[in-house]
Amino acid sequence: MNLFDFYKRESTTSGGNILVMASISGISNGALLAIITLAAKTASQAGAGIQIRYFILFVISLLLFISGKRYALKQAIVVSETLIKKVRVRISNKIRQSELIFFENLDKSYVYTRITQDTNFISQSALIIINACQSAIILVFCLIYIGWLSKLALVITIGAVAAATLIYFLYRREVIKLLEVTTEKETELFESLSHVINGFKELKVNWKKSNDTFFHFREISDTTEEIKVKTGFSFVTDFVFSQTFFYVLIATLVFLLPSLTSVYSEVVVKLVMAVLFIVAPLEMVIGAIPSFAKASVAVDNLYKLEEKIDAFGGVIPETEHTQPTPIVSFQEIRLDKATFSYMGKEDRVLFYLGPIDLSIKRGEIVFLVGGNGCGKSTLLKLLTGLYYPLSGVLRLDGEVLSKPTYISYRELFSIIFTDFHLFDKLYGLGEVDSKKVNDLIKLMRLDDKTQYLDGKFTNTNLSTGQRKRLALITAFLDDKPIYVFDEVAADQDPQFRAYFYNELLMDLKKQGKTVIAATHDDKYFHVADRVLKMEYGQIQNA
């Protein structure tokens, strides 16, 4: 997949206007060469009137060149950025609609690199490619001019250009491979850097771990540098080759052409001038090839990511653009002989949950207890529809849920898992009464830390416990029938922990809400209607 394939696949317009204006610009540039040559040839013999005509033609050609090039470049920017936005939005949309198990196994660094760095390569290449197209048109006119001066010179020039192009394309395969390896290494570099940044506290208290992590980062940096230098050397070789090619071509026209055919010295001078004139356009064309190669690799990377999401993301086509039908209320959620497993390499089972038989009634408070790794969070993900049962079924009011109906079922829940994300705005709630939000902030004893102003929280850089309290505010404002809390009270002080269990949960129960919470706080087990203990992926008492 290359850049042209990307344009043909994504664009809804032909781009003919850009090509026309680039062609006009190129033709005008070629006309400037002809006008300057003719004006210089007749400068000593022609009268003032003829020179004025040449000057007027020069000005017209120059204006056409400027306006054509400006239009083509501006439209190229618009088209390229429109297509990049289209692909970014489409891939991001597919990611958000993919299944959780796929997303959890997706390399986040890989995604960030594809959607940011690779799209930037495509964006940067747009102007270079348009300039190259215009230069190619100038090149054609220069070749026509050379052919008009000498057919043999034209054959030699075309032969030299063809030979140079063939050599480059034979060499290009290695360059493409180096570019692909470079993007892979830069993804690894990004991931390694994320360990340095996200694991700052852990590294700060462990000198050996810090050194080992940094050594790994430096090792990847060294490898990336080595590959990028090698790639850069390949481009330098291309550049030096193109420079040498021009000098060899000029030497051929000066030294070899007169011995092959009878040409006047003034024709040789004009041929040399024409070859020198095509130096810049040909360098522009050759210089665009690395950018085109990088952009093509970037395009290929983007489509590979999209293909991976399409193949393994689990996006259900019939629900892709469907707004979920709201489920107003329910009486019972039930898992019947439900199982689930995490798979490792070579389909090795890493953890197995089930079989689970569990019923959750409307208005209940149910606590899940058990040691770390017993399967509490996995069970919560099954109950919320974030995971599909490997076997068995999930029922809502007796009806077995099919995959397309999960999108509506999930709307029953407001969730706070241990790895929750705190949003800076109350997305999905429309217009929200700021006073109501700030009252909740005060209730959660966060009013000295943050406020809700201009549609967003003024500060989310809080401690883990404070962030969970802010997440609780968002959950309460969502006002869903079922609340799922995964160790929400674990990072709270004793006073707030007591307030959470004795008042907040009981208030939710009074409202008729259902609460399912994973917890270790045995001091507050009396708050729950039922306490379910889990061990080794199974419920011991249901």
Q: pLDDT tens digit string along 180-234? A: 777 777 777 777 777 777 776 667 667 777 778 888 888 888 888 888 887 777 7
Q: How many helices, marked H, and strands, marked E, lie in the chain?
A: 17, 12
Confirm if 400 and 394 have CB atoms less than 8 A apart: yes
Q: What is the pLDDT of residue 98?
A: 86
Peptide bond into 324 cis (omega under 30): no
Sequence length of the chain is 542
- Give strand ranges (E) for 131-254: none
The model's confidence at residue 511, banded by pLDDT at 50, 70 and 90, is very high
CA nearest to 241, candidates 290, 197, 202: 290
The rounded distance, in Å, linking the Cα atoms of 474 and 427 is: 9
Choose the weakest-confidence range: 14-28, 252-266, 376-390, 407-421: 252-266
- One-letter amino acid of 377: S
Q: What is the pLDDT of residue 264?
A: 59
Residue 389 has φ and ψ, to the nearest 5°, of -60, 140
What's the pLDDT tens digit per position in 339-374? Answer: 999 887 777 888 999 899 999 999 999 999 988 888
Instruction: Output 498 or 9, whichever has higher pLDDT.
Output: 498
- The C-alpha angle 496, 500, 503, rounded to 5 degrees, equals 115
Using the predicted structure, report yes or no on whether residue 16 has a pLDDT greater than 90.
Answer: no
Arithmetic mean of pLDDT, 255-260: 70
Peptide bond into 389 cis (omega under 30): no
Q: Which residue has the tokens 């401690």?
A: 463
Question: What are the beta bridge partners of residue 351?
Answer: 342
Q: Which residue has the tokens 């009268």?
A: 47
Which tokens sit at 317? 């086509």
Instruction: Output 115 or 468, whichever has higher pLDDT.
Output: 468
Q: What is the pLDDT of residue 318?
A: 58
What's the pLDDT tens digit per position in 76-98? Answer: 888 888 888 888 888 888 888 88
What's the pLDDT tens digit per position in 463-482? Answer: 889 999 999 998 998 889 99
Which tokens sit at 117? 């760095």
Q: What percentage of residues in the chain have a pLDDT greater than 70?
A: 90
| Radius of gyration of the chain from its Cα atoms, rounded to whole angstroms | 34
Arithmetic mean of pLDDT, 124-144: 78
Q: What is the pLDDT of residue 541?
A: 66
Q: What is the pLDDT of residue 43?
A: 61
Q: For 504, what's the count of Cα atoms within 13 Å in the CB-facing half-sphere? A: 22
Q: What is the pLDDT of residue 362?
A: 94
Q: What is the pLDDT of residue 169?
A: 67
In this structure, is the dihedral angle defined by the CA atoms of residues 399, 402, 408 and 413, taken in order, positive or negative? Answer: positive
Q: What is the pLDDT of residue 294?
A: 78
The model's confidence at residue 171, banded by pLDDT at 50, 70 and 90, is low
- Give strand ranges (E) for 268-348: 332-343
* Domains by residue range for the chain, with CATH: 3-14+71-315 (1.20.1560.10), 332-539 (3.40.50.300)
Q: What is the pLDDT of residue 1?
A: 65
The model's confidence at residue 46, banded by pLDDT at 50, 70 and 90, is low
The rounded distance, in Å, linking the Cα atoms of 519 and 483 is: 14
Q: What is the pLDDT of residue 205?
A: 61
Residue 95 has φ and ψ, to the nearest 5°, of -65, -45
Average pLDDT, the chain: 82
- Give strand ranges (E) for 256-403: 332-343, 349-361, 365-369, 391-396, 399-400
Q: What is the pLDDT of residue 32?
A: 78
What's the pLDDT tens digit per position in 384-421? Answer: 999 999 999 999 999 999 888 888 898 899 999 988 88
